[in-house]
Amino acid sequence: MELSTQLVHFDPAPGDPLRPTSTPIYQTATFCQPDADGQGPYDYTRSGNPTRSVLQRQLARLEGGCAAFVFASGMAALSTLTSLLQVGDHVLAGDDLYGGSYRLLDQVARRRGLLSSAVDLTDLAAVRAGLRPSTRLLLVETPTNPLQRICDLRALAAICRERDVLLAVDNSLLSPLLQQPLLLGADLVVHSATKHLGGHSDLTAGVLAVRNPDLAERIAFLQNAEGTALGPFDSWLLLRGLKTLALRLERQQTNALRVAEFLAAHPAVRRVHYPGLSEHPGAALHRSQARGAGAVISFETGDLRWSRQVVEATSLFSIAVSFGNLSSFISLPCRMSHASIPAAVRAERALPEDLVRLSIGIEAAEDLVADLAQAFCKARAQALDPATCSLRGG
């Protein structure tokens, strides 16, 4: 069955004799037990809840895993991932990673006795060199965020297997509709379900999906022991959002390509980062492991002041962190989503301060292009050749 069919075809309420077509919200903390041995199927919502179970089963199926777990946020999922490790273990991570993931490894996991370092994961020699005897986890984003570099998931999985390292892929940027890392050899998939999976910017949630039952058992234990699971109402919101993932993402992606092409042709844009453009250096590799380029684009203007003016001059793009929402967002990663990475580290990792990130929504593509065109004009009204302004819509 195609994923777009699976998104809307699943048992919404296993065992319910009333056969509802939408999953009921079991908004209860506790469940009465048939006897003093507590043998009921559910006892306490921290440990298990029927609404959450339906969601978790559906996410496992979409990622091609044996189990999935939902958490209060993407960071809670990532934190649980680090809880699988022991004091003294080393984590190797990509050097272009979501700012919060960097902060978790650098400031929280470190205090719990985990070491971490970062390399450019598009460079397999650097990956091999970066692995230590104590490395237990490789944390990957592909495309990376916000620079949209492409990492070779099959090759990284082979290296990890050789070295007995867990491979975890943060798949927030694409969703299982476009990329299924477990099927390419990853051990775990992480999501900020706040992004594409939810899609409506109305909840925060996180996911860990796994390929093997042993890991599933350890994560189930942690989810209960640490009390990090997503509540019933948010589980229901996420189930509801998930059903339209294919429709949303297909439209967002078509729009994104149109916007990326507009940006690539605009004289005021120095570089566009979007793997859907054929000139992207990772485009072919990306196509070999994913079914689409997603809806996030970043670009450089070469001048922070100007980037800031463009961001502030748009009217359809909300200035907001996050991506995957129905309406479009614009941001300056170094000031916003990635501000938790110290400026010196950002410089070392060549994260341009003038980088602008767009999350493309489901609006009409023409309106988005026209809005960006007018923002460029407004931002540089005096400095630019008036000819630039005639690019509106084109």
Ligand X SMILES: *Cc1c(COP(=O)(O)O)cnc(C)c1O
Where in the sequence numbering do the catalytic residues fall? 46, 98, 170, 195
Interaction of residue 211 with ligand X, rule CB under 6 A: no
Residues numbered 75 to 104 that lie near ligand X (CB under 6 A) are 75, 98, 100-101
Interaction of residue 170 with ligand X, rule CB under 6 A: yes
Interaction of residue 195 with ligand X, rule CB under 6 A: yes
Interaction of residue 156 with ligand X, rule CB under 6 A: no
Minimum CB–partner distance for residue 75 and ligand X (Å) = 4
Minimum CB–partner distance for residue 73 and ligand X (Å) = 3
List the one residue from 58, 135, 172, 228 that touches ligand X (CB under 6 A). Answer: 172
Interaction of residue 298 with ligand X, rule CB under 6 A: no
Question: Which one, 320 or 389, has the nearer CB to ligand X?
Answer: 320
Q: Which of 325, 124, 83 is nearest to 208 (CA)?
A: 83
Interaction of residue 56 with ligand X, rule CB under 6 A: no
Q: Is 273 exposed, middle or buried (0-12, 13-18, 19+ CB in 10 A)?
A: buried
Question: Which one, 189 or 365, has the nearer CB to ligand X?
Answer: 189
Query: Per-residue b/e over 356-367, b at no fewer than 16 CB within 10 Å?
Result: bbbbbbbbebee
**Region from 32-40, 73-81, 157-165, 363-371 binding ligand X, contact rule CB under 6 A:** 73-81
* DSSP for residue 230: P
Output the CA–CA distances (angstroms, integers) from residue 17 to 12, 23, 95, 157, 196, in the order listed: 12, 13, 51, 44, 32
Interaction of residue 145 with ligand X, rule CB under 6 A: yes
359: which 2 tokens? 């999350």
Output the CA–CA distances (angstroms, integers) from residue 239 to 151, 182, 219, in the order listed: 30, 21, 21
Question: Which one, 248 or 380, has the nearer CB to ligand X?
Answer: 248
**Residue with smallest beta-carbon separation from ligand X:** 74
- In the complex, which residues of this chain contact ligand X (CB under 6 A)? 73-75, 98, 100-101, 141, 145, 170, 172, 192, 194-195, 204, 206
